[in-house]
Amino acid sequence: MHIGLFDSGVGGLTVLSKLKERIPKARFTYLGDTARLPYGNKAPETLERYTKENIEFLDQQNVDAIVVACHSASSVALKMLHSQKGTPIFNVIAPSCEQAIKNSKNKRVGVVSTKATARSLVYPNYINSLDENVEVLSQECPLLVPLVEEGMIEDPITEMMLSRYLKEMLTEPVDTLILGCTHYPLLKEPISKICGASITLVDPAESVAGRILDQCEIKDDEPGLKVFLTDHAPHFINHAKQLLGALDSEPILFPKSQG
Ligand code: DGL
């Protein structure tokens, strides 16, 4: 099986690493739109356009399934996601909402995300369309992506920001917290430390891998990974090494003409 996925940059590598772990006999094509990141503070119309273009690109690579590994892109583009070739498209939002509903005993679910995702209201809307009794607390955390990008995972500044962002979730306690941004699984440890054992973290990468395994006929392929980037991203290689061990080959630079 050949799976294509895209994200604005390095964040989607957290999704890729989970997919590789759960579907080891798959071949992967990864598109990191590093020229246009961050996606998390872009307008919905812009994100829709980027998403459409990225899906077209992955379709041209003849993939068997496409994963929109970016929450900000998934959140605004959820309804218009379709491929010209009819390739199945998976997003990171629906499976994690379903997982959160299943997990929550007190029916209070928290979601941390970028501004674009929080303002789209996609998480509360989707969760409440499945169960209207679940209360959803959303928190936008715009400073977390740059902190992760800078490698400041175990840094007092990151802990301070997390404590501030998670304050409401802790004072009116949720029992389930969705990590609604590709970068946040990298912060699992400091988030767990602040939240404590009573809050279960939902990693959307896990949920989407499960969804693909449930819905696709997984045919063994020659495992491999091809990475396309739309701009130079020196830190991409470091993050890739950290999450995937090593890259099979250098990322291919694929410049986009339009901004
Ligand atoms: N990948 C984005 C997301 O999951 C976060 C990074 C960005 O803002 O581009 O929302």
Q: Whose CA is nearest to atom 8 of ligand 1?
A: 40
Tabulate helix, strand, coil % of the chain (nearest 5). 45, 20, 35
Using CB distances shorter than 6 Å, the residues near ligand 1 are 7-8, 11, 37-40, 70-72, 114, 117, 145, 181-183
Q: What's the confidence (pLDDT) of residue 223? A: 87
Say how many Å lie between the CA of residue 177 and the centre of ligand 1. Answer: 18
Q: How many residues does the chain have?
A: 259
In the predicted structure, residue 259 carries a pLDDT above the cut 60: no
Which of 69, 80, 64 lies closest to 215 in space, CA to CA? 64
DSSP secondary-structure letter at 39?
Answer: -
Task: Give the residue numbers marked as catalytic.
Answer: 70, 181
| Euclidean distance between the first and the last CA atom of the chain, given in angstroms as a whole number | 32
CA distance 163 to 68: 29
Record the pTM. 0.93
150-165 pLDDT, tens per residue? Answer: 889 899 999 999 999 9
Q: What's the confidence (pLDDT) of residue 110? A: 98
CA distance 68 to 7: 7
Q: What is the mean pLDDT of residues 27-49?
A: 94
Q: Whose CA is nearest to atom 2 of ligand 1?
A: 70
Q: What is the mean pLDDT of residues 14-37?
A: 94
Mean pLDDT, the chain, as a whole number?
92
Burial class of 69 by CB neighbour count within 10 A (0 to 12, 13 to 18, 19+) = buried
In the predicted structure, residue 236 carries a pLDDT above the cut 70: yes
- Ligand 1 pocket test: which of 41, 71, 111, 144 has the largest number of ligand atoms within 8 Å of its C-beta? 71
